[in-house]
């Protein structure tokens, strides 16, 4: 007898990637790899359901909750090429089952993104200075098979350029990518070139060609890291690692206009060492958040619904050290922060009226967490 849909319940899960191999630019790497955690948003219970260590330094994850698929990078400093690994998720137990792995044509695979239809996985390579790196591609597209595994890359691209900071920008350093809401353009944020590079995506073949507007310039020396689209698709927000700012662009006909504004993620007068990391937007699009590593905070902003401009609301301590990644739960009620250098997940409640997060005191020890994805499934 088929269960009634009304007998099902929604469960919130957290997929956490953590560093489990030594990396020279991390203080330590004490993680297990990938953890699947059940999160009760009423009680704050954080229960680790499963762990797997068969992926090397899964520093970034992507999740297709509907199909029960989890994808992981391997960001290993010495490797001339990275890898991406596909898993199936059992929502009843939280167990991950290995499906397959593909080689990425470039080193330091640091970011993954799914297209809106979840038919392609986009892998971005930071391209650190690794000897004998071949072939040194900035980004690659992997078609997703019916069984959830990954086919070999259907397309890849290389970048050229540099920025004004000789220590961080002597060559391209692509840091993240995303596919447009219309599912027709792949955009790559390149920290080394201070550019967003745009590629037209053929969803029939998984191939790429330069878009009509091939690149968007950011302020010199800013170092764009991650970016996202507003829920209504009308604006794009870029967080810069080196300048600690969020740069706002308007979207018209799929093209970017601007920047229309640039705001700091730091309090006025702050002079310590810090770098931005992650950026997230509330489920209703009214509030935007960015993480500061060094200042160790979550910067909070109100979003003007018409112009997309940001107004600072303040800064919430991140509940640990080095908030490399954070996630907003699908309900919009909580922010969960992966504090890399204090080995903790910290949970904050979001005030639905003000958008400000408050520390719940809920914590879960996780070694060297670098990425966190929150999602819900029917159980």
Percent of the chain clearing pLDDT 90 (strictly above): 89
Angle at 60 between CA 58 and CA 66, to 5 degrees: 105
Q: Specify the pLDDT at position 79.
A: 86
CA dist., res. 338 & res. 348, Å (int): 12
Three-state SS string across the chain, please? CCCCHHHCCEEEEEEEEECCCCCCCCCCCCCCCEEEEEECCCCCCEEEEEEECCCCCCCCEEEECCCCEEEEEECCCCCCCEEEEEEEECCCCCCEEEEEEEEECCCCEEEEEECCCCCEEEEEECCCCCCCCCCCCCEEEEEECCCCCECCCCEEECCCCCCCCCCCCCCCCEEEEEECCCCCEEEEEECCCCEEEEEEEECCCCEEEEEEEEEEECCCCCCEEEEEECCCCCEEEEEECCCCEEEEEEEECCEEEEEEEEEECCCCCCCCCCEEEEEEECCCCCEEEEEEECCCEEEEEEECCCCCCEEEEEEEECCCCCEEEEEECCCCCEEEEEEHHHCEEEEEEECCCCCCEEEEEEEEECCCEEEEEEEEEEC
CA dist., res. 29 & res. 20, Å (int): 5
> Higher pLDDT residue, 264 or 3?
264
Q: Specify the pLDDT at position 1.
A: 39
Which tokens belong to 127? 């391209």
Q: Are strands 323-328 and 275-281 parallel, antiparallel or unpaired?
A: unpaired
Tens digits of residue pLDDT in 262-292: 999 999 999 999 999 999 999 999 999 999 9
Query: Is 28's pLDDT higher than 90?
Result: no
What is the DSSP code string of 15-50?
Answer: EEEE--S--TTSS-----SEEEEEE-TTT--EEEEE
Contact predicate 156/179, CB 8 Å: no
Of 116, 65, 5, nearest to 330 (Cα)?
65
pTM beyond 0.85: the answer is yes
Task: Identify the band that residue 8 occupies on the pLDDT scale cut at 50, 70 and 90.
Answer: low
Give me the mean pLDDT over the 143-171 stretch: 97
Tens digits of residue pLDDT in 67-124: 999 999 998 888 889 999 999 999 999 999 999 999 999 999 999 999 999 999 999 9
Give me the mean pLDDT over the 9-36 stretch: 92
Give me the mean pLDDT over the 351-357 stretch: 97
For residue 144, what is the DSSP state?
B
* Token pair 């996780």 in the structure block, residue: 366
Query: Is 379's pLDDT higher than 80?
Result: no
């Amino acid at each position: 007898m088929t269960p009634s849909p009304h007998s099902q319940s929604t469960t919130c899960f957290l997929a956490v990637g953590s560093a489990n191999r030594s990396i020279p630019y991390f203080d330590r790497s004490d993680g297990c790899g990938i953890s699947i955690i059940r999160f009760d948003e009423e009680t704050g219970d954080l229960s680790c359901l499963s762990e797997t260590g068969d992926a090397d330094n899964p520093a970034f994850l992507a999740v297709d909750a509907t199909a029960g698929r989890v994808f992981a990078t391997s960001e290993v400093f010495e490797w001339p090429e990275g890898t991406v690994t596909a898993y199936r998720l059992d929502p009843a137990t939280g167990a991950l089952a290995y499906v397959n792995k593909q080689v990425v044509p470039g080193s330091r695979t640091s970011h993954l993104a799914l297209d809106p239809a979840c038919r392609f996985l986009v892998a971005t390579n930071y391209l650190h200075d690794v000897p004998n790196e071949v072939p040194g591609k900035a980004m690659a597209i992997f078609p997703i098979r019916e069984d959830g595994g990954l086919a070999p890359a259907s397309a890849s691209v290389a970048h050229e350029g540099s920025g004004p900071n000789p220590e961080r920008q002597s060559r391209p350093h692509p840091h993240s990518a995303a596919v447009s809401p219309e599912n027709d353009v792949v955009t790559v944020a390149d920290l080394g070139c201070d550019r967003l590079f745009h590629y037209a995506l053929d969803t029939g073949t998984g191939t790429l060609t330069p878009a009509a507007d091939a690149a968007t310039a950011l302020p010199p020396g800013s170092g764009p890291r991650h970016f996202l689209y507003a829920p209504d698709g009308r604006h794009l927000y870029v967080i810069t690692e080196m300048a600690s700012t969020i740069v706002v662009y308007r979207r018209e006909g799929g093209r970017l206009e601007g920047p229309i504004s640039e705001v700091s993620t730091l309090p006025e007068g702050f002079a310590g060492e810090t770098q931005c990391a992650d950026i997230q937007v509330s489920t209703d699009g009214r509030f935007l958040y960015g993480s500061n590593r060094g200042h160790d905070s979550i910067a909070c902003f109100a979003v003007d619904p018409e112009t997309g401009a940001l107004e600072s609301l303040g800064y919430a301590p991140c509940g640990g050290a080095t908030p490399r990644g954070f996630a907003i739960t699908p309900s919009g009620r909580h922010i969960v922060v992966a504090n890399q250098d204090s080995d903790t997940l910290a949970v904050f409640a979001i005030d639905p009226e003000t958008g400000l997060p408050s520390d719940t005191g809920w914590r879960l020890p996780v070694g060297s967490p670098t990425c966190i994805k929150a999602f819900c499934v029917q159980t």
